[in-house]
Structure 1
């Protein structure tokens, strides 16, 4: 019950400020039609209920299961198993990420179908999967994340030089949306689970940094998509 109460207050504190600002603007500057404003209030209610249920699901299901999966993979002591399932989990959790679908649908509309929604989602998911697998490799061999981040962003700027300019902002937005409410908790929990088993509780912080690495993947994949389409 305590978890439910905390989640409800967390969602209210998150949604209430934007609802208040829009309400103040409604009665001072913008004066939306009454029907549109009522739809906004109904939408806020639905978003609040959805976020409460979503966050409860994350805390009850995704976080503990992600950590248990990471621990179980590490106990196999097989590098290919850890890396392979790191890739697969990064891939499928991105397909489920709502932010990715919102971005892809908006890009599909703006581009008039020039960048198909399905193609963008698949490329982003593959990018995340590859870099989650790389993050698993990094945890196992205790590679400094500084080298991976520096190499990843150097590669981004190199590929960006050959990609159409219109794909550059899209690629960085794709990197941002993969750090959404579904992907982040699961990937973090997965990394902590792997690091905890491999190097003990004192090194569980090595599981962090996965989200930073994972966000490089979709940027690169969308830029490569731009080179192909360009």
Structure 2
């Protein structure tokens, strides 16, 4: 029961400040029609309920299963299979990410369908999947995290030279939306699970489970930039 109360308190602390600010603005500066303001309050109520249930589900289901999968994978002792599983998990989790859906819907509207909703979602998902797979390779082969970050962002800035200007902000937003409430918990739990097994073999590798999100965020930036070069 205390676990549910903690989730309720967390959601309340996240939503109430926004409701307070909008309410103050409503009665001081904005003065929207009351039916619109009531719709806002009803929407906030549904968002609060949905976010509460979502976070409960994440802590009950996503985090444990992600960590269990991560701790089981290294026991397979087949690097290619571990990398393939990381790729497909990164793909499906990103497709399910609500933040990615919101960005794709907005881009679809702004571009009048030139960049379709599904095209952007799958482009971002493939970018994340490739870099989750790279993160798996990094852990299995004990590669330098710093070198991978420098190389990844080096490619980002190099590709930015050839990417149409209107695709650059979309690319970096694509990297941001992959740090949403679905992708981050699962990827972190997966990384911690793999690291727990590797740490048992080598106690110095205590931080290997982290950095997955940093690497995964580079993938969609590069993927959308490539999409921009193609469409440009």
TM-score (norm 2): 0.97
> How far is the alpha carbon of 1:116 from its aligned partner?
1.3
Q: Distance in 2 between matches of 1:197 and 1:204?
A: 10
Question: Equivalent residue of 2:219, what SS?
Answer: helix
What pairs with 1:75-154 in structure 2 (closer than 5 Å)?
75-154=75-154
Q: Distance in 1 between matches of 2:160 and 2:153?
A: 10
- The answer for unaligned runs of 5 or more in structure 2 is none
> How far is the alpha carbon of 1:204 from its aligned partner?
4.1
Deviations 1:121-141 (A, max 9, x none): 111000000000000000111
Question: Corresponding residue for 2:199?
Answer: 199
11-20 or 112-121, which deviates more: 112-121
Deviations 1:22-56 (A, max 9, x none): 00001111011000000011011111101110000
> How far is the alpha carbon of 1:73 from its aligned partner?
0.8
Question: Corresponding residue for 1:216?
Answer: 218
Question: Corresponding residue for 1:8?
Answer: 8
Question: Corresponding residue for 1:26?
Answer: 26
CA contact (8 A) 1:70 1:191 kept: yes
Q: Distance in 1 between matches of 2:114 and 2:216?
A: 26
Q: Distance in 1 between matches of 2:140 and 2:62?
A: 23
Q: Distance in 2 between matches of 1:157 and 1:134?
A: 19
Where do 4+ consecutive residues of structure 1 move more than 2 Å? 199-205
> How far is the alpha carbon of 1:142 from its aligned partner?
1.3
Q: 1:204 to 1:82 in 2, by over 3 A?
A: farther
Q: Distance in 1 between matches of 2:191 and 2:82?
A: 11
Q: Distance in 1 between matches of 2:207 and 2:69?
A: 17
> How far is the alpha carbon of 1:163 from its aligned partner?
1.1
Alpha-carbon RMSD across the aligned residues, in angstroms, is: 1.0
Question: Equivalent residue of 2:207, what SS?
Answer: helix
Deviations 1:179-229 (A, max 9, x none): 000000000000111111122295342110000000000000000001111
Question: Corresponding residue for 2:228?
Answer: 226
